[in-house]
């Protein structure tokens, strides 16, 4: 009966003269209507159409035809002459089969011989650089963390996700949950791209007082609906609600809930929070090189209040992914300050994207910064720390999660099954620096101690020259933590993470410049992504830094990063090494530095060195990490 149905469809198509070519394979019938449209008929019900991907190909448009106005095309890089991997395209569970329309893929492309139907999709890891204890998607692309919210013992981590390839596109909200911030359970995407556009970044709250009318303690998500329009783009704020503890969402039938009053095209990433003194909800939205504040009583109608940011921070920059948090000063809850987290791209001191912040006061309507516009405070000094946002509903704990990459090369890292990971969750606090200004510290959450599976406590030692530890752990798979106290009287003193191939990451104190440095120029695979010359860098400052740590002409990945530090003092140092990353924390997170690395084999030895003076190492423990 199904075969007859397919033959009937083909007969009608030939009669109409629309089909130039047809083929059949494994319950699939392809109608090639010229070289621009192909209709795929799936004769038997299956869960997935497995689509072959080639990342260098142009995007075709793929749509499941259900007859609903909500049917949405997905942009997918189908294989033209080489299959690199497969992605699952979900089908309706209909005994009569399914129909998929594919546009802008040539009739002679390899994909037509490679498409499969299946009720399963294998997510077993096949990528050598997948982290062992950092959060990643099972497959596909990931960037910004979204909608971080804690409820009923679960941390919900939503994220910008392309389930149809490991490059940016088709923005959905992917979804993972955890009870301890280190062990993550992968769930189905929670909010899918729709006819309003891509589902861009945003936030989620627990509506404890039923402000929106969907029930007490409903999780409500706010996100940017993005689509291209003639002459530019449209970005508006939308809302969805979940009544099953964040697993699935229903989109508000009158979306969008907020549009820019001046037609601004860069208007995105809503962060919503409750402002207790005035019993109202507040939304902060990225508005080009600015942040705008809105208020609401019911989470559906929003009133403009004020804006902040024009001319603040390094120039040029694009404000993105805001967060707005209140913290005690030096732990004293009688002294509270507001902190605006601003992710910018470009404008980071080492090029590309980075996370800065402003400290000040907020009266429920307007934010006033404590420092002048030219003062820049970085939350992390590494190249791979961006789109940092915080969990809501965690009471006094402020827990941030960054995306661990940089827009300069994020699409080109030497990974294919998935792309991108989140850096370790960090607990934020506000402290007074030696210059009497207020700064954020970002310490790895205490829950990371649950990753420790084995340890080696080493005796204190001094170095005036070098000292090596040849094997950290037998059968090392690349995941370990170093915790130590380092005091140096030398010009340059620190250590190298090494493997047997000579690949290394150097972490050291530079007394002459008063800085702590992480150099990944020889860390492994570094030659990928866009090539740059010094004059291509964002600012004179980044050019000067680039010249000091690279050789005339390298790519924008192979770069050392550093932060200012008082080298005359001793410092507590924590280093988290995973398969694909190194994260440095100094003095409980007063300095944080996050960088990707791609060694061809795991680092498994250490070389301590000191030049021009003695270095003391104490309280030194090495932990083997794992889930």
Signed CA dihedral, 145, 147, 151, 156: sign only: negative
456 SS3 class = strand
Alpha helices in 269-350 (DSSP H): none
Bridge partners (DSSP) of residue 427 are: 399, 443
- The Cα 114–Cα 57 span in angstroms is 15
Split at pLDDT 50, 70, 90, the class of 35 is confident
Signed CA dihedral, 540, 541, 542, 547: sign only: positive
Split at pLDDT 50, 70, 90, the class of 549 is very low
For domain 140-444, give the CATH number: 2.115.10.20
Residue 526 near residue 558, CB atoms below 8 Å: yes
Tell me the per-residue pLDDT of 511-523, one tens digit each, with 9 for 90 and over: 999 999 999 999 9
Residue 264 near residue 288, CB atoms below 8 Å: yes
Tell me the per-residue pLDDT of 415-429, one tens digit each, with 9 for 90 and over: 999 999 999 999 999
Bridge partners (DSSP) of residue 254 are: none
Split at pLDDT 50, 70, 90, the class of 499 is very high
Strand order in the sheet with 140-151: 184-191, 172-178, 154-162, 140-151, 418-419
Half-sphere exposure of 615 (CA within 13 A, CB side): 27
Could you give the dihedral angle defined by the CA atoms of residues 105, 106, 111 and 113, in that order, rounded to the nearest 10 degrees? 140
Residue 245 near residue 152, CB atoms below 8 Å: yes
Residues 6+ apart with CB under 8 A from 291: 284, 285, 307, 308, 309, 319, 322, 340, 342, 367
Split at pLDDT 50, 70, 90, the class of 27 is confident
Bridge partners (DSSP) of residue 591 are: 586
For domain 2-118, give the CATH number: 2.60.40
Tell me the per-residue pLDDT of 329-379, one tens digit each, with 9 for 90 and over: 999 999 999 999 999 999 999 999 999 999 999 999 999 999 999 999 999
pLDDT at position 290 over 60: yes
Phi and psi for 248 in degrees, rounded to 5?
A: -130, 160
Q: Where are the domains of the chain?
A: 2-118, 140-444, 446-625
Name the DSSP class of 100.
E
First vs last C-alpha separation in the chain: 51
Mean pLDDT taken over the chain = 91
Q: Which residues are catalytic?
A: 144
- The Cα 242–Cα 221 span in angstroms is 8
Tell me the per-residue pLDDT of 145-202, one tens digit each, with 9 for 90 and over: 999 999 999 999 999 999 999 999 999 999 999 999 999 999 999 999 999 999 999 9
Phi and psi for 177 in degrees, rounded to 5?
A: -130, 155
Instruction: State the pLDDT at residue 529.
Output: 56
Model confidence, pTM:
0.92
Residue of 429, 410, 513, 541 whose CA lies nearest to 142: 410
Residue 588 near residue 513, CB atoms below 8 Å: no
Instruction: State the pLDDT at residue 552.
Output: 35
Name the DSSP class of 525.
-
Pairing of strands 98-103, 154-162: unpaired
Instruction: State the pLDDT at residue 618.
Output: 98
C-alpha distance from residue 15 to each of 10, 12, 32, 38, 99 (Å)? 9, 5, 14, 17, 19
Residue of 53, 92, 50, 52 whose CA lies nearest to 71: 92
Instruction: State the pLDDT at residue 13.
Output: 40
Cis peptide bond N-terminal to 346, omega within 30: yes
Could you give the dihedral angle defined by the CA atoms of residues 545, 547, 549 and 555, in that order, rounded to the nearest 10 degrees? 100
Residues 6+ apart with CB under 8 A from 200: 160, 171, 223, 224, 225, 226, 235, 268, 269
Tell me the per-residue pLDDT of 252-269, one tens digit each, with 9 for 90 and over: 999 999 999 999 999 999
Tell me the per-residue pLDDT of 124-158, one tens digit each, with 9 for 90 and over: 999 999 999 999 999 999 999 999 999 999 999 99
For domain 446-625, give the CATH number: 2.60.120.560
Tell me the per-residue pLDDT of 459-469, one tens digit each, with 9 for 90 and over: 999 999 999 99
Split at pLDDT 50, 70, 90, the class of 96 is confident
Estimate to the nearest angstrom the gap between the alpha carbon of 44 and the chain centroid: 38
256 SS3 class = coil
Tell me the per-residue pLDDT of 401-410, one tens digit each, with 9 for 90 and over: 999 999 999 9
Q: Do the two domains 140-444 and 446-625 of this chain adopt the same fold?
A: no
């Amino acid at each position: 009966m199904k075969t007859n149905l397919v033959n009937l469809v083909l007969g009608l198509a030939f009669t109409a003269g629309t089909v130039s070519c047809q083929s059949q394979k494994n319950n699939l019938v392809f109608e090639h209507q010229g070289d621009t449209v192909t209709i795929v008929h799936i004769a038997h019900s299956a869960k997935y159409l497995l689509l072959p991907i080639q990342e260098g190909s142009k995007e075709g448009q793929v749509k499941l035809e259900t007859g609903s106005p909500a049917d949405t095309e997905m942009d997918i890089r189908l294989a033209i002459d080489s299959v690199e991997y497969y992605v699952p395209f979900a089908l309706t569970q209909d005994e009569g089969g399914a129909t998929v329309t594919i546009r802008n893929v040539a009739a002679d492309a390899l994909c037509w011989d490679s498409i499969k139907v299946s009720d399963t999709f294998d997510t077993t890891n096949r990528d050598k650089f997948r982290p062992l204890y950092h959060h990643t998607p099972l497959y596909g692309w990931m960037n910004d963390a979204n909608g971080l919210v804690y409820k009923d013992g679960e941390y919900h981590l939503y994220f910008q996700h392309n389930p149809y390839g490991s490059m940016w596109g088709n923005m959905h909200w992917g979804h993972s949950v955890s009870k301890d911030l280190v062990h993550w359970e992968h769930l189905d995407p929670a909010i899918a791209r729709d006819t309003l556009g891509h589902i861009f970044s945003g936030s989620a709250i627990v509506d404890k007082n039923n402000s929106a009318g969907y029930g007490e303690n409903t999780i409500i998500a706010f996100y940017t609906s993005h689509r291209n329009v003639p002459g530019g783009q449209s970005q508006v704020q939308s809302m969805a609600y979940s009544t099953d503890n964040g697993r699935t969402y229903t989109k508000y039938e009158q979306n969008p809930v907020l549009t820019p009053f001046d037609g601004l095209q860069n208007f995105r990433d809503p962060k919503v929070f409750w402002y207790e003194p005035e019993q109202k909800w507040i939304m902060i939205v990225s508005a080009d090189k600015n942040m705008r504040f809105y208020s609401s009583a019911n989470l559906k109608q929003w009133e403009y209040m004020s804006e902040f940011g024009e001319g603040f921070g390094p120039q040029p920059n694009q404000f993105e992914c805001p967060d707005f948090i209140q913290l005690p000063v030096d732990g004293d809850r009688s002294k509270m300050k507001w902190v605006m987290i601003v992710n910018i791209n470009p404008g980071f001191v080492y090029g590309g994207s980075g996370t800065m912040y402003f400290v000040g006061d907020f009266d429920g309507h307007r934010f006033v910064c404590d420092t002048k516009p030219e003062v820049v405070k970085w939350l992390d000094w590494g190249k791979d720390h961006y789109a940092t946002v915080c969990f809501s509903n965690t009471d006094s704990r402020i827990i941030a999660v960054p995306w661990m990459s940089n827009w300069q090369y994020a699409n080109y890292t030497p990974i294919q099954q998935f792309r991108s990971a989140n850096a370790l969750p960090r607990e934020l606090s506000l402290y007074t620096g030696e210059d009497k200004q207020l700064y954020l510290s970002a310490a790895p959450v205490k829950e990371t101690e649950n990753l420790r599976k084995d340890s080696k406590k080493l005796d204190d030692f001094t170095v005036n020259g070098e000292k090596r530890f040849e094997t950290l752990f037998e059968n090392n798979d690349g995941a370990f933590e170093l915790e130590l106290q380092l005091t140096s009287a030398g010009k340059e003193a620190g250590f190298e993470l090494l493997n047997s191939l000579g690949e290394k990451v150097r972490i050291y104190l530079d007394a002459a410049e008063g800085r702590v440095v992480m150099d990944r120029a020889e860390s492994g695979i570094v030659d990928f992504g866009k090539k740059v010359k010094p004059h291509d860098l964002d600012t004179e400052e980044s050019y000067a830094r680039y010249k000091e740590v690279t050789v005339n002409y390298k790519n924008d990945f192979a770069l050392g990063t550093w932060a200012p530090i008082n080298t005359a003092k001793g410092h507590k140092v924590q280093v988290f090494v995973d398969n694909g990353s190194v994260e440095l924390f100094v003095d409980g997170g007063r300095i944080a530095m996050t960088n990707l690395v791609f060694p061809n084999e795991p680092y498994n030895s250490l070389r301590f060195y000191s030049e021009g003076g003695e270095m003391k190492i104490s309280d030194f423990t090495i932990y083997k990490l794992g889930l």
